[in-house]
Amino acid sequence: MFHHVKELQFNARVSKPDPKFARLLLEQFGGGNGELKAAMQYFVQAFSARQPYPKLYDMLMDIATEEFSHLEIVGATITMLLGPINGELKQAFEDSGLKEMVTGGSASRDALIHQALMNPQFFVLSGGGPTVTDSNGNPWSGSFVNANGDPTVDLRSNIAAESRAKIVYEYLLQFTDDEYVQESLRFLMTREISHFQMFAAHLEQIQPNFPPGILQGDARFTHTYFNLSNGASARGPWNQGQGPWAGGEWTYVEDPISTVRESNGLTNFQQTAPISNEQMNEIGKKLGKQRYAEISKAVPKSTNQWSAYPQNELESPRKAS
Amino acid sequence: MFHHVKELQFNARVSKPDPKFARLLLEQFGGGNGELKAAMQYFVQAFSARQPYPKLYDMLMDIATEEFSHLEIVGATITMLLGPINGELKQAFEDSGLKEMVTGGSASRDALIHQALMNPQFFVLSGGGPTVTDSNGNPWSGSFVNANGDPTVDLRSNIAAESRAKIVYEYLLQFTDDEYVQESLRFLMTREISHFQMFAAHLEQIQPNFPPGILQGDARFTHTYFNLSNGASARGPWNQGQGPWAGGEWTYVEDPISTVRESNGLTNFQQTAPISNEQMNEIGKKLGKQRYAEISKAVPKSTNQWSAYPQNELESPRKAS
Amino acid sequence: MFHHVKELQFNARVSKPDPKFARLLLEQFGGGNGELKAAMQYFVQAFSARQPYPKLYDMLMDIATEEFSHLEIVGATITMLLGPINGELKQAFEDSGLKEMVTGGSASRDALIHQALMNPQFFVLSGGGPTVTDSNGNPWSGSFVNANGDPTVDLRSNIAAESRAKIVYEYLLQFTDDEYVQESLRFLMTREISHFQMFAAHLEQIQPNFPPGILQGDARFTHTYFNLSNGASARGPWNQGQGPWAGGEWTYVEDPISTVRESNGLTNFQQTAPISNEQMNEIGKKLGKQRYAEISKAVPKSTNQWSAYPQNELESPRKAS
Amino acid sequence: MFHHVKELQFNARVSKPDPKFARLLLEQFGGGNGELKAAMQYFVQAFSARQPYPKLYDMLMDIATEEFSHLEIVGATITMLLGPINGELKQAFEDSGLKEMVTGGSASRDALIHQALMNPQFFVLSGGGPTVTDSNGNPWSGSFVNANGDPTVDLRSNIAAESRAKIVYEYLLQFTDDEYVQESLRFLMTREISHFQMFAAHLEQIQPNFPPGILQGDARFTHTYFNLSNGASARGPWNQGQGPWAGGEWTYVEDPISTVRESNGLTNFQQTAPISNEQMNEIGKKLGKQRYAEISKAVPKSTNQWSAYPQNELESPRKAS
Amino acid sequence: MFHHVKELQFNARVSKPDPKFARLLLEQFGGGNGELKAAMQYFVQAFSARQPYPKLYDMLMDIATEEFSHLEIVGATITMLLGPINGELKQAFEDSGLKEMVTGGSASRDALIHQALMNPQFFVLSGGGPTVTDSNGNPWSGSFVNANGDPTVDLRSNIAAESRAKIVYEYLLQFTDDEYVQESLRFLMTREISHFQMFAAHLEQIQPNFPPGILQGDARFTHTYFNLSNGASARGPWNQGQGPWAGGEWTYVEDPISTVRESNGLTNFQQTAPISNEQMNEIGKKLGKQRYAEISKAVPKSTNQWSAYPQNELESPRKAS
Amino acid sequence: MFHHVKELQFNARVSKPDPKFARLLLEQFGGGNGELKAAMQYFVQAFSARQPYPKLYDMLMDIATEEFSHLEIVGATITMLLGPINGELKQAFEDSGLKEMVTGGSASRDALIHQALMNPQFFVLSGGGPTVTDSNGNPWSGSFVNANGDPTVDLRSNIAAESRAKIVYEYLLQFTDDEYVQESLRFLMTREISHFQMFAAHLEQIQPNFPPGILQGDARFTHTYFNLSNGASARGPWNQGQGPWAGGEWTYVEDPISTVRESNGLTNFQQTAPISNEQMNEIGKKLGKQRYAEISKAVPKSTNQWSAYPQNELESPRKAS
């Protein structure tokens, strides 16, 4: 269960309202790389980790909880940047103070509407609060969440998610002069870096962690590069010389169209590989057995219970009826 | 900020895996009337309430936090209902135990695939965990959240949201025989009833709370019913006799097409109303002033800060720089 | 079936084109709280009401039909606000008059594009007509419609929907000076108030109407408030003293974390309730029987027919083959 | 404005409930080629036609209104196919009759759930009514509507839309044995054919209607076919001999890659065309002037009004303030 | 398989950066009528054409491949229009040159943000590249693709799609003064015209091609027009006189409500038709047999193979195991 | 531009139709981790790489082109798995052979519909071809594409995308017995592994590549772990001892709530870091200058051209007008 603490994790402040920057900042509230996505991604991944991998569960829930706390910081900042809009909208019968807010007193209603059009929904829909959208008004989608039930995949999804969240904060920092806001953004950006390192460290201690999952590839194709574009072609460590694996080199297929034709659609493609498909299968089988054992030991096939009361162990009670 | 407690709010258990019911239960995980919707709706509404209405903020955050805790219960139940899928998928090289789970041992692979097709994404995408979707696989959308920056509107949105969540639990209860699962669903359903009553009680003490917002209607049209369909017409307290307001009765327009034609598109429509438009405007103006005063007093137009450290008051510090 | 009347229900006019306000007004055309949502919501709810509750059906279809008529008013107003765009776009070979429209004659092409960017789709997609989107360009979604097959739920969804539609018109009214447009918006806003009251009156005469649906809650949890946030906590009629029900008071759980731990995840939670679970179940059973009787009497299990020709009764013919 | 007639346009009946076919039929309720799409497409196109092209407006509104009437037929049929679900769900405390409906009396709860899983939302969300989705549960989207403010484009969009709706009814007819349902589907399918012909006839009388819009193409590229795939290539009236235009033949570019390289990215591409670019521009200019004149004459740039009361002419009053 | 050629099909150039027009141009990148929609539509249609109709397949793949090549031109143009944004964002520690780009050197940061708000995602999300969205930021959707497995339907969908793409380019051309950009747009617009003609020519040689699909309509309703709106009604070739078919005239139902009532919901509607339903059924049966024969001959029911190596025939190898 | 080669890159075959597995396989056609997502992601990333990083561009386009070729393999396989559906649907007047296909000859129509319901859109919408959706029928969305204009971010997004695609193929392989299909899936799965390694090798040679982007974090927070959940807590290389960076250790904040309160919302949080914020800023500035130089050298601020004709260099012509 969750508990809410009224203090924000970081002391979010704004120097003055700025509805324009509020719109940009929505990218981190309801956008595809924002805090809600991160929070939900780690929260959802945690479910299948709970019983087989309680240490991973603990880390995922710690970071998910922090991301929900960051979502709160972003929402609070947006709300403060929208400042008096909510109150001014109540002045429906008066000459609304919205004008003053926007332009310093002398603006026409046209200027007000112009401001509103930057993100009309702050004015005519949310009444001065955040919306669960990105900076272009697209609603957050459950499809943003990547959770595939395998730690060697999920942790890589998280490393990439943190990288994207980091660059979006980096870009955002260039669009506000408010030092208070910059301070909060810098804190949030830094935490993406630290989470990146936590996920990387956890992935590192799972061995083997490559390829992700269990099954090994077909040795004829794992180190083969198909040159599928014409003209001058770039060569580098991604398609020539030693690849990022033990033993063996990249195979560069200069003319894939001819190769495909001559090899009956690659079914007859021959390739000396540093390791045979039989050996690869052995590795996969062994790994499959090991992972299966870990998980099936922890997840009962009959009665199951999620928590002990109190929960003093990392492990779930796995009650067997 | 949030804090995570490893104990679920309710002791969720399952008697045995049941992937079919897991699919149905997704409706309350990532569906339009589910727990994530409720949690996010109250959480987002809380932002614009924070400074002007700190008591409302406290209630919204208490209930939002409980809904996140319910989301966790639903996700945990789905995961336990999916039971060994995650582990069996690691048996990629063996004769997978997935069959046994599904059918008790004698099933063909076809039966397994049939089971998978009920919700293929539990098998080929999430690897045995919940997806952020409804029971038909549609991703959760930020557009599910209703937050309009006015308590007399938002609280009514919440009453309706709780009503819908309640009926979905009521329907779900008819599709499982597992007593443990029924117990959890009954708890969750009951909490929707209790939240309904909290929102209703809070709305009741805001006076006046009708019409929602500030502006009063045009007295000629507030109590008028247009009979826009032919044939036998139903009459009842919604279109005849005393309406649900003080003084005056419903006006029933029997033949709206003629009325519209003869009144120049209703611009000349005459109607004796229990209260004049001038009086209604006075009510609106007075209410607008009052609400404006409440909000503008609480929301600074310059430097703003969300939390005090420690936060020992209900009120936000409203720091004026 | 429907019949179209060329006269708008209200005499919609505009004083001059105003593409900026046209964008804002889209919120009521294709937005989540707009006229299409309302029309479709009542129309869809009407299907399951048709046979068991023909009076409710009549009211829902009257109001749905009015909302389609309002959708037409909003679309007509948007089109008139976009004025000559459609024609000017045909001047593709000339020095288009679009400039003049936007700025009064002296503007650069840049000003024109600026105008266009406010909502580019009026210019490059719809050619000067409405789009089925909200003010940020998000397409209308079938998920906006709430229809759950139970009048005590659906009518509450409608009350909330009308509340949101009302506040959006209230906000919109502050962004146009055009008196003709204000007149139309005020009419439309007023009708939301009147529909609110129709739905409320209909709900009131369904007894009992609480809790929504049939099933009663668990008496231990219906009146219990969990204080899930730290620090200063607000107390009021929503969590202390007499609640909005007959007999008994709110139970306030000060420290839910300890309570959950000590009650084995609330399974042992004890609570004196004004009414026992057995009594509640009796109420639910009786109500279930009554509703089942009403519906099953009206809905044949074999051959069924929707309309009589002519349809002179409220009831559907319920032809039994 | 709209008026609702309680009689369905076609006498929709069902022989017995059939929830499975109800799911398939959703494709025509809330699917991308369904009745709501058609109704909304013609309704939205009608707005920009209203003033310049009142005859087109009349036809579009007649057909849009018929499509709303068809939507009602489809929704009524789905509701009747779902039969007693709504009532049975009220039997929450009893041994629900849902079983009997599904299987004829002997089925286990498992069979019931299986039925539910075909489209769980009929059971746990809509309570036995239609949802605004396609047959896979995807919500209807405003992006289904094609309306581009040009009759030579919009009418072609409508011809294609009717073609798709027709084929979907054709496919659906193969999945039901219920003669009543077949009868309704056949009526609806036939109306798609008739609408197709109305749109085609209307398009035919607009001259010139090709190319759609105003601007003519670059004569070097209008009749040129680029052979962008290898191996055996098909030749036919779409890329050789006389094309579907007056004078001149298709140019077939056998080896587009070389052609692009040698013509500096086609900027130097030479082509004898049956008509010069100058001539084409003249045609376009003349057509632009004509269409501009038609539209700008009908759409006032100042005060505008949509309807007269009563509306006895086809034309909108075009009130000039 | 595909091969990429580094030369663009058309020599896309820009005179200077113009982020505002870049936003408008997104409509053709990720919009509902844009290049990705066209490319994917023809590509997806090609799958079911591959075996029964290899000539159609060849044409669809040629044009799909060209549309992918156009998508590349549009994306390249957007990227060049966004010019130095990507680089300037790297100046995070400096006084960024973004200002200079936007305003020529003298602008305040406010002007920069204003520019950014036109489409914030170019600045804070994509870092200066295209997004897979339309001009309002809505993501491209798979539901844009119309592919129904019947050439007489699909080709009509394509004709309509090309018409819409053409008009969007026509509108876009009015919002840029950059002659290089105009040149590319004119090329792209012209190709929509040429594709329109290829699809029309291919459709023409399929006989019969009307009605789309196999089933013929009910002769009583194919030529009947229901006048579903009141007041002055337009008459023309779409509802009077000879219709666009051989023999017979339009039937105009002046008062559909009475007609429906009197004909028992049209079930008794009588109509002299130029051809009887029996004759129509014969046509349909014959056509169904023919199409079935064509397809079933080409698609094996057992082992199947897509390509020969090398593929020197138009036909797929249809390997029979 | 693209060129299409009629031979599939891999010789896709099926042993017999299997519509059920076709549904599952849709996950790799239009799903969030499927081939279209991969193809579009690398294709879109390539635009901003084109001018500053032509070697990266070459690699991205080679792999994007291969992913389009894989999309074709997946679509071809789905089509072959749907086998005779397209043809049988033409038998509308006969006793359709669909039955035989599904059940081997003896099945009732009910069995046929059951099959259809597995994915109704194969039957009633696509007519036997793929849809641009995932296995639950959700349409592909442009929001699946991650492209942020920074190679150190984009390459990590790609590594994660390949990981997810790999695991989905791994899961899919367990749901088909068809050896031909398994062969194709194994090839496709292997290519995800090889692409993973190409992206990793390319990322490795960009130095420094951490943190992603330019800006360095706040040294007080980069190595700090907040223990945001109660009870037993897991410790490991992700929150204790040496972290994955040079010098210094993880700081573990045992009680974040107290820490936040006492440090005024972390603004006074003190932390000895292995490197000072000033040093970090220096690193960032230097890196920003370098990246800015690379990009601004390659991207002209005035006239720009994408391709040379012929394009014999890796570099874009960068024509300065």
Please report which confidence band the pLDDT of residue B92 belongs to, taking 50, 70 and 90 as the band edges.
confident
Residue F262 one-letter amino acid: E
Please report which confidence band the pLDDT of residue B276 belongs to, taking 50, 70 and 90 as the band edges.
confident
Contact F187 A218 (CB under 8 A): yes
Mean pLDDT, rounded, for E299-303: 88
Name the residue among F172, F229, F232 with its Cβ closest to that of B124: F172
Q: Please classify residue D14 by burial: count the beta carbons closer than 10 Å to its beta carbon, then call 0-12 exposed, 13-18 middle and 19+ buried.
A: buried
CA B253 from chain centre, in angstroms, equals: 35
Tokens (6 digits) for E47: 């799958």
pLDDT at F105 over 50: no
Mean pLDDT, rounded, for A153-171: 97
pLDDT at F247 over 80: no
Q: Please classify residue C247 by burial: count the beta carbons closer than 10 Å to its beta carbon, then call 0-12 exposed, 13-18 middle and 19+ buried.
A: exposed
Question: Could you give the angle at which helices B54-82 and B179-205 cross, rounded to 10 degrees?
Answer: 170
pLDDT at E117 over 80: no
Residue F309 one-letter amino acid: Y
Q: Which residues of chain C have pLDDT under 70?
A: 94-116, 319-321
CA F43 from chain centre, in angstroms, equals: 12
Q: Which residues pair with E4 in a beta bridge?
A: A229, F2
Question: Could you give the angle at which helices B151-172 and B179-205 cross, rounded to 10 degrees?
Answer: 160
Please report which confidence band the pLDDT of residue D113 belongs to, taking 50, 70 and 90 as the band edges.
low
CA dist C100 and C107 (Å) reads: 7
pLDDT at D151 over 80: yes
Contact A75, A25 (CB under 8 A): no
Please report which confidence band the pLDDT of residue E19 belongs to, taking 50, 70 and 90 as the band edges.
confident
Please report which confidence band the pLDDT of residue D242 belongs to, taking 50, 70 and 90 as the band edges.
confident
CB contact A178 to E (< 8 Å): no
CA dist E172 and B204 (Å) reads: 54
**pLDDT score of F321:** 45
CB contact F16 to E (< 8 Å): yes
- For residue E2, report the phi and psi dihedrals to the nearest 5 degrees: -110, 155
**pLDDT score of C243:** 81
CA dist B46 and B147 (Å) reads: 9
CA dist B312 and F91 (Å) reads: 76
**pLDDT score of C94:** 67
**pLDDT score of F196:** 97
Instruction: Write out the DSSP string of E289-301.
Output: HHHHHHHHHHS-S
Q: What is the mean pLDDT of chain D?
A: 90
Cβ-Cβ contacts under 8 Å for D150 (sequence gap 6 or more): C127, D212, D213, E167
What element of type H or E holds B100?
helix B98-103
pLDDT at D246 over 80: no
CA dist A313 and A298 (Å) reads: 14
- pLDDT-above-90 percentage for chain D: 72
- pLDDT-above-70 percentage for chain A: 92
**pLDDT score of D276:** 87
**pLDDT score of A7:** 96
CA dist E29 and E77 (Å) reads: 10
Please report which confidence band the pLDDT of residue B106 belongs to, taking 50, 70 and 90 as the band edges.
very low
Cα-Cα-Cα-Cα torsion B78, B79, B82, B88, nearest 10 degrees, comes to: 170
Contact E170, E189 (CB under 8 A): yes
CB contact A283 to B (< 8 Å): no
- pLDDT-above-70 percentage for chain E: 92
**pLDDT score of D95:** 62
**pLDDT score of E106:** 43
**pLDDT score of E76:** 97
Instruction: Write out the DSSP string of E4-50.
Output: E-SS-SS--EESS--HHHHHHHGGGTTSTTSHHHHHHHHHHHHHHHT
CA dist B16 and E196 (Å) reads: 59
**pLDDT score of B100:** 53
CB contact F283 to E (< 8 Å): no
- Shortest CA distance to C105 belongs to which of C97, C95, C93, C94? C97
For residue E139, the chain A residues in CB contact (below 8 A) are 138
Q: Of chain D residues 285-304, which have a CB less than 8 A from chain B?
A: none
CB contact D231 to F (< 8 Å): yes
Mean pLDDT, rounded, for B234-246: 88
Q: F251: helix, coil or strand? A: strand
pLDDT at D102 over 60: no
**pLDDT score of C79:** 96
Tokens (6 digits) for F86: 């397209």
**pLDDT score of C103:** 40
- Shortest CA distance to F4 belongs to which of F60, F62, F68? F68
| Region of residue D268 (left: phi > 0; alpha: psi -120 to 50; beta: else) | alpha
Cα-Cα-Cα-Cα torsion E229, E232, E238, E242, nearest 10 degrees, comes to: 120
Give the Å distances, CA to CA, from B43 to B147, F10, F13: 9, 51, 52
CA dist A104 and A106 (Å) reads: 6
Q: A226: helix, coil or strand? A: strand
Please report which confidence band the pLDDT of residue B273 belongs to, taking 50, 70 and 90 as the band edges.
confident
Contact B217, B223 (CB under 8 A): no
Contact D257 F1 (CB under 8 A): yes
Find tokens 């309309």 and name the residue.
Answer: C307
Beta-strand runs (E) in chain F: 2-4, 13-14, 224-226, 251-253, 304-305
Cis peptide before F211 (omega within 30 of 0): yes
Q: What is the DSSP letter of A138?
A: P
CA dist D225 and D255 (Å) reads: 11
Name the residue among B163, B211, B225 with its Cβ closest to that of C212: B163
Give the Å distances, CA to CA, from B252 to B56, B216, B233, B240, F217: 39, 21, 11, 7, 68
Going by their DSSP bridges, the two strands F2-4 and E2-4 should be labelled as: antiparallel
CB contact C265 to A (< 8 Å): yes
CA dist D279 and D274 (Å) reads: 10
**pLDDT score of E311:** 95
**pLDDT score of B20:** 86
**pLDDT score of F271:** 81
For residue D89, the chain B residues in CB contact (below 8 A) are 170-171, 174
Mean pLDDT, rounded, for F106-111: 54
What element of type H or E holds C3?
strand C2-4
CB contact C35 to D (< 8 Å): no
pLDDT at B7 over 70: yes
pLDDT at D39 over 50: yes
CA dist F14 and E302 (Å) reads: 8
Contact E167, D212 (CB under 8 A): yes
Mean pLDDT, rounded, for D25-32: 96
Q: D54: helix, coil or strand? A: helix
CB contact A14 to B (< 8 Å): yes
Give the Å distances, CA to CA, from E222 to B252, D8, D73, E265, F108: 41, 19, 18, 17, 33
Q: For A26-38, how does the pLDDT look when each residue is reduced to its tens digit (9 = 90+)? A: 999 999 999 999 9
Please report which confidence band the pLDDT of residue E113 belongs to, taking 50, 70 and 90 as the band edges.
low
**pLDDT score of E97:** 58
Q: For F2-46, how does the pLDDT look when each residue is reduced to its tens digit (9 = 90+)? A: 999 999 999 999 999 888 899 999 999 999 999 999 999 999 999
**pLDDT score of B110:** 61
pLDDT at F112 over 70: no
**pLDDT score of F122:** 85
Contact A314, A58 (CB under 8 A): yes
Please report which confidence band the pLDDT of residue A98 belongs to, taking 50, 70 and 90 as the band edges.
low
CA dist C79 and A315 (Å) reads: 63
Contact A151, F133 (CB under 8 A): no
Contact F296, E90 (CB under 8 A): no
**pLDDT score of A102:** 46
Q: What is the mean pLDDT of chain F?
A: 90
Min Cα separation E148/chain A (Å): 26
pLDDT at A295 over 90: yes
Give the range among B312-321, E234-243, F236-245 with minimum mean pLDDT: B312-321
Q: For D281-300, how does the pLDDT look when each residue is reduced to its tens digit (9 = 90+)? A: 899 999 999 999 999 899 98
Name the residue among F98, F124, F139 with its Cβ closest to that of D172: F124
Contact D166 E222 (CB under 8 A): no
Please report which confidence band the pLDDT of residue A62 belongs to, taking 50, 70 and 90 as the band edges.
very high
Give the range among C32-36, D115-119, D187-191, D242-246 with minimum mean pLDDT: D115-119
Contact E48 F79 (CB under 8 A): yes
Please report which confidence band the pLDDT of residue A245 belongs to, taking 50, 70 and 90 as the band edges.
confident
For residue F224, the chain A residues in CB contact (below 8 A) are 194
Cα-Cα-Cα-Cα torsion F235, F236, F240, F244, nearest 10 degrees, comes to: -150
Contact D204 E5 (CB under 8 A): no
Quick one: CA dihedral E198, E201, E206, E212, positive or negative? Answer: positive
pLDDT at B102 over 50: no
Please report which confidence band the pLDDT of residue A111 belongs to, taking 50, 70 and 90 as the band edges.
low
CB contact E116 to D (< 8 Å): no
Tokens (6 digits) for B69: 């805790």
CA A28 from chain centre, in angstroms, equals: 11
Q: What is the DSSP letter of E143?
A: G
Please report which confidence band the pLDDT of residue B275 belongs to, taking 50, 70 and 90 as the band edges.
confident
Contact C29, C130 (CB under 8 A): yes
pLDDT at B265 over 90: yes
pLDDT at F223 over 60: yes
Please report which confidence band the pLDDT of residue D314 belongs to, taking 50, 70 and 90 as the band edges.
very high
Q: For F74-100, how does the pLDDT look when each residue is reduced to its tens digit (9 = 90+)? A: 999 999 999 888 888 888 776 655 555
